[in-house]
Amino acid sequence: MKTIRWGIIGCGNVTEVKSGPGFQLAENSLLVAVMRRNGELAKDYATRHNVPKWYDDADELINDPDVDAVYIATPPAFHKKYTLKCAEAGKPVYVEKPMARNFEECTAMVEACEKAGVPLFVAYYRRALDRFNKVKELIDSGKIGDVRFVTIVLYKKLVQVDLKSGKLPWRVIPEISGGGEFMDLASHTLDALDYILGPIEEACGYADNQAKLYEAEDVVTASLAFKSGVKGTGTWCFSSFSNYDMNEIVGSLGKISFSTFQEEPVLLTTIEGTTSFNIKKPIHIQQQLIQTVVNELNGLGVCPSKGISGARTNKIMDKILKNYRDKCQIKF
């Protein structure tokens, strides 16, 4: 069994607990190099996490012969650039979500990796979590009968901004993230539903900026049509008085209620009553998906989150945000 030696481009916050340790703890996996444009921060990360090598140049990490595969953990604006470089170097790619700023960039990434013959994985780790596989299991086993529709509701308090400096988090700068917090957070739910219910075939939406704190959208509503015939609606607001996160999948015999980001129990409700499933998140939340990536690279099984499915999620978000992007002339 081959040990997959990983390099990380962009060792920021997400790599501290959620993902980075997963490459060290997964079976047949090692984290051997990290890169950050600020070399001192890269060195600090490497020292704290016992990583042998650090770089301040992505090309050096990508072309390091001791690196077998690359995890791209930068903001979305850089995903396409680094994915194409990895493909050219013949190295498998595991890229953060959302996969890119729009579907066009995703398509270029998929095509480059297919042409180079290297696999492309996307860090939609909920596809490997027990919590979401329980939801899928309940549906696939017919516990709620034929699925009719799904509702998504997420609202949260306004993002913290340094009003004196005017400095914004990159997640609400469209040129970097592709939009606002919708791109970062809604992508998780939309991809999870793609996994649980099958692909979303059509979508349309309305978005606006109500708080006027930044250019990106801060409220979004959407209508969804799944290939299976299931219908859906979504509402996301990022300037609310409090935080709320709930999805409901309703069928002919019952419904399933669950949150995307919180740890409330998964609830199965039928005419017989309500059953609660308490499923905790792992500490290193990406580790289970990382393990499926390593396994696939070793010819053992298939990772459930690939470039093709990741691109589908971007395509749906593009459709939902189209009117707002056109109105505000947001282009990449």
Give residue 198's region: left, alpha or beta (phi > 0; psi -120 to 50).
left
Average pLDDT over the chain, rounded to whole?
96
225 falls within a domain? yes
Q: Domain containing 103 — which CATH number? A: 3.40.50.720
- Residue 331 has a pLDDT of 87
DSSP 3-state assignment of 247? strand
Is residue 149 domain-shared with residue 263, that is, in the same domain? yes
Task: Read off the pLDDT of residues 25-58 as tens digits, 9 standing for 90 and up.
Answer: 999 999 999 999 999 999 999 999 999 999 999 9
Domain assignment of residue 218, given as a range: 127-281+313-328
Is residue 74 domain-shared with residue 217, that is, in the same domain? no
What global pTM score does this model have? 0.97
Task: Read off the pLDDT of residues 251-295 as tens digits, 9 standing for 90 and up.
Answer: 999 999 999 999 999 999 999 999 999 999 999 999 999 999 999
Is residue 64 domain-shared with residue 109, that is, in the same domain? yes
Is residue 28 domain-shared with residue 103, that is, in the same domain? yes
Is residue 261 domain-shared with residue 291, that is, in the same domain? no
- Residue 163 has a pLDDT of 55
42 falls within a domain? yes
* Residue among 296, 312, 313 nearest 304 (CA): 296
* Total domains present in the chain: 2
